[in-house]
């Protein structure tokens, strides 16, 4: 059917594919459709199936040609994509770029389409890459910070005996705006509103104003908001509020003792057990984070040297996945998220994510290329060991784990995890790791005190 094909490579890993289909194939497709419709055609003055071909062609010939053209395009693309390397990406819809395309049965039929392909690039040197490894040592300050977080998580919130509001207390208030005429604005009334003083998690930001008040105090607060105030509706305004404190609660932190350790987990008998667990967990976190940073540094250097022409459809697919992940982390659907931010807001966020998406794609493509070059795979024995490891972690039998992963189609993901870990081991073993600058745990994790 295809008598000629021409492939032209474009920027951003796109291609133009021009196909020429034999006139005989076009005529055969058209004639076949015509014969099919003649059998069932009904027109005034003729019985079903007795409409003369010339009459049918005169009335429906162009429509039948259009259908034949679409069928020829579909068949030819199916045929050509079985043979050429330049296949379209799954998320790149081939687009016919010819204008006013039509089928002329007197000559061969030619059309051109454009689509994105998987980027092809030469793999730069990836062995002997030099990276600086951050030096991180745990301190007592790190342990103390974790212990304080555990105390906060296990704190009791109780009625404050003094009833006096202070920063850090949890208060319940009733409030309402008072208009210039002295009347209360009913639409602004809130009952039993709860917030932690000092967090600013209240619309009017009255944290500082109620510090020192007591339970059951009811007062009028006047507050002036600057022109650049974070709440647009309040910016540049002056509000009068009637506020009543109905409850004042404080956190009662547990003592740092064996009882606290036992409350955290039945696996702990003493406070020292809890401290050892914290130290082990933070040490593992440091090791994994440093390992990932070393890998990122290696991949970044290799990717910088690689001439990778990323197709736009691949970038857009990555940004769409980032949007879906953002929605999932926010525990709403992508559609609900778009309703919140609007179509324009979504694209502004994706524009901000674009450099990171491009960087991530380039690194992943380099990883896949190295995996292929080094023939790194997950063997059946390694997959079996990984399933066993997952079974032990989940405290289920090996057979139960196998059934779970097979039933849910997760074995493929386990294979990729094993394969990727082997690649990381390989790259780190091949690299030249030098001691880098000293970092605190928080600096390594890019966290604030």
Give yes or no: residues 239 and 267 share one domain: no
Residue 128 lies in a domain: no
Cα dihedral 372→373→378→379 (10° resolution): 120
Name every residue whose Cβ is closer than 8 Å to that of residue 421 and which is 6 or more positions away in sequence: none
**Which one, of 413, 309, 427, lies nearest residue 361 by Cα?**
309
Give yes or no: residues 64 and 196 share one domain: no
Q: Kindly report which listed range (47-61, 231-245, 266-280) carries the lowest average pLDDT score.
A: 47-61
Question: What percentage of the chain has pLDDT greater than the value 90?
Answer: 82
Give yes or no: residues 318 and 430 share one domain: yes
What would the mean pLDDT of 299-305 be, rounded to a whole number? 96
Count of domains for the chain: 3
Can you read off the two tokens belonging to residue 57?
């062609």
Give yes or no: residues 244 and 271 share one domain: no
CATH for 440? 1.10.3120.10
Confidence of residue 185 (pLDDT cuts 50, 70, 90): very high
Q: Helix, strand or coil for residue 213?
A: coil
**Which one, of 165, 247, 161, lies nearest residue 206 by Cα?**
165
Q: With the C-alpha atoms ordered 384, 390, 395, 401, is the resulting torsion angle positive or negative?
A: negative
Judged against a pLDDT cut of 70, whether residue 415 lies above it is answered with: yes
Residue 365 lies in a domain: yes
Give yes or no: residues 284 and 431 share one domain: yes
Q: φ and ψ at 217, to 5 degrees?
A: -65, 140
Residue owning tokens 């301190």: 139
Q: Where are the beta strands (DSSP E) in 117-237?
A: 130-136, 156-159, 170-178, 184-196, 218-224
Give yes or no: residues 226 and 102 share one domain: no
Q: Say what the pLDDT of residue 449 is.
A: 58
Confidence of residue 39 (pLDDT cuts 50, 70, 90): confident
Confidence of residue 198 (pLDDT cuts 50, 70, 90): very high
Can you read off the two tokens belonging to residue 45?
């003055």
Distance CA 359, CA 377 (A): 25
Count the Cβ atoms, other than its own, within 10 Å of residue 261: 21
Tens digit of each residue's pLDDT (9 = 90 or more) over 362-393: 999 999 999 999 999 999 999 999 999 999 99
Residue 360 lies in a domain: yes
Residue 342 lies in a domain: yes
CATH for 230? 3.10.50.40
CA dist 190 to 85, 91, 216, Å?
A: 66, 49, 16
**Buried residues in 100-116 as b, exposed as e (16+ CB within 10 A):** eeebeeeeebebebbbb
Judged against a pLDDT cut of 80, whether residue 436 lies above it is answered with: yes
What would the mean pLDDT of 418-434 be, rounded to a whole number? 96
Give yes or no: residues 161 and 100 share one domain: no
Judged against a pLDDT cut of 90, whether residue 231 lies above it is answered with: no
Distance CA 309, CA 307 (A): 6
CATH for 83? 3.30.70.1050
Which one of 252, 281, 310 terminates a domain?
A: 252
CA dist 209 to 185, 245, 247, 325, 357, Å?
A: 20, 12, 16, 40, 45
Residue 190 lies in a domain: yes
Judged against a pLDDT cut of 70, whether residue 448 lies above it is answered with: no
Q: Helix, strand or coil for residue 254?
A: coil
Distance CA 162, CA 217 (A): 13
Q: Say what the pLDDT of residue 42 is.
A: 75
Confidence of residue 408 (pLDDT cuts 50, 70, 90): very high
Residue 149 lies in a domain: no
Residue 63 lies in a domain: yes
Q: Are 115 and 93 in contact (CB under 8 A)?
A: yes
Q: Helix, strand or coil for residue 178?
A: strand
Residue range of the domain that includes 294 = 261-444
DSSP conformational letter for 163: -
Give yes or no: residues 6 and 110 share one domain: yes
Residue 122 lies in a domain: no
Distance CA 257, CA 274 (A): 10
Q: What's the length of the chain?
A: 449
Tens digit of each residue's pLDDT (9 = 90 or more) over 122-163: 999 999 999 999 999 999 999 999 999 999 999 999 999 999
Q: With the C-alpha atoms ordered 122, 125, 130, 131, is the resulting torsion angle positive or negative?
A: positive
Can you read off the two tokens belonging to residue 323?
């949007």
Which one of 201, 220, 252 terminates a domain?
A: 252
Can you read off the two tokens belonging to residue 308?
């990778």
Give yes or no: residues 233 and 280 share one domain: no
Distance CA 150, CA 275 (A): 11
Give yes or no: residues 74 and 94 share one domain: yes
Judged against a pLDDT cut of 90, whether residue 242 lies above it is answered with: yes
**Which one, of 441, 437, 391, 353, lies nearest residue 143 by Cα?**
441
Q: With the C-alpha atoms ordered 96, 99, 104, 110, is the resulting torsion angle positive or negative?
A: negative
Give yes or no: residues 107 and 171 share one domain: no
Give yes or no: residues 193 and 237 share one domain: yes
Distance CA 169, CA 214 (A): 12
Which one of 116, 145, 165 terminates a domain?
A: 116
């Amino acid at each position: 059917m295809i008598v000629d094909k021409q492939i032209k490579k474009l920027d951003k890993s796109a291609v133009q594919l021009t196909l020429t289909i034999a006139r005989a194939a076009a005529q055969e497709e058209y004639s076949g459709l015509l014969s099919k419709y003649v059998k069932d055609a009904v027109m005034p003055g003729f019985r079903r199936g007795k409409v003369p071909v010339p009459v049918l062609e005169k009335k429906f010939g162009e429509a039948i040609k259009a259908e034949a053209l679409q069928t020829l395009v579909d068949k030819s693309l199916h045929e050509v994509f079985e043979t050429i390397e330049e296949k379209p990406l799954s998320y790149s819809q081939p687009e016919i770029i010819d204008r006013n395309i039509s089928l002329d049965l007197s000559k061969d039929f030619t059309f051109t389409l454009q689509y994105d392909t998987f980027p092809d690039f030469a793999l730069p040197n990836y062995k002997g890459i030099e990276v600086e490894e951050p030096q991180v040592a745990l301190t007592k300050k790190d342990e103390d910070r974790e212990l304080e977080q555990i105390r906060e998580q296990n704190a009791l919130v109780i009625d404050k005996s003094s009833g006096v509001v202070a920063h850090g207390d949890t208060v319940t208030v009733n409030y309402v705006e008072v208009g210039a005429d002295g009347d209360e604005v009913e639409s602004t009334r809130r009952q039993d509103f709860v917030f932690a003083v000092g967090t600013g998690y209240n619309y009017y930001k009255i944290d500082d104003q109620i510090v020192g008040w007591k339970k059951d105090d009811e007062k009028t607060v006047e507050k002036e908001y600057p022109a650049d105030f974070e709440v647009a509706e309040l910016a540049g305004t002056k509000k009068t509020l009637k506020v009543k404190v109905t409850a004042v609660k404080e956190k009662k932190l547990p003592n740092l003792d064996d009882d606290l350790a036992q409350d955290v987990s039945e696996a702990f008998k003493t406070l020292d057990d809890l401290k050892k667990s914290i130290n082990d967990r933070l040490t593992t976190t440091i090791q994994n984070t440093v390992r990932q940073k070393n890998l990122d540094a290696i991949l970044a250097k290799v990717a910088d040297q690689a001439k990778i022409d990323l197709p736009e459809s691949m970038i857009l697919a990555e940004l769409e996945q980032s949007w879906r992940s953002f929605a999932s982390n926010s525990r709403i659907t992508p559609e609900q998220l778009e309703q919140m931010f609007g179509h324009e807001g979504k694209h502004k966020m994706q524009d901000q994510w674009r450099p990171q998406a491009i960087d991530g794609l380039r690194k992943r493509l380099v990883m896949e290329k190295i995996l292929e070059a080094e023939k790194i795979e997950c063997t059946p024995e390694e997959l079996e060991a990984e399933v066993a490891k997952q079974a032990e972690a989940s405290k289920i039998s090996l057979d139960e784990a196998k059934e779970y992963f097979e039933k849910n189609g997760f074995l493929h993901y386990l294979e990729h995890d094993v394969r990727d870990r082997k690649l990381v081991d390989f790259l780190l073993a091949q690299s030249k790791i030098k001691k880098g600058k000293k970092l605190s745990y928080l600096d390594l994790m890019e966290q604030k005190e």
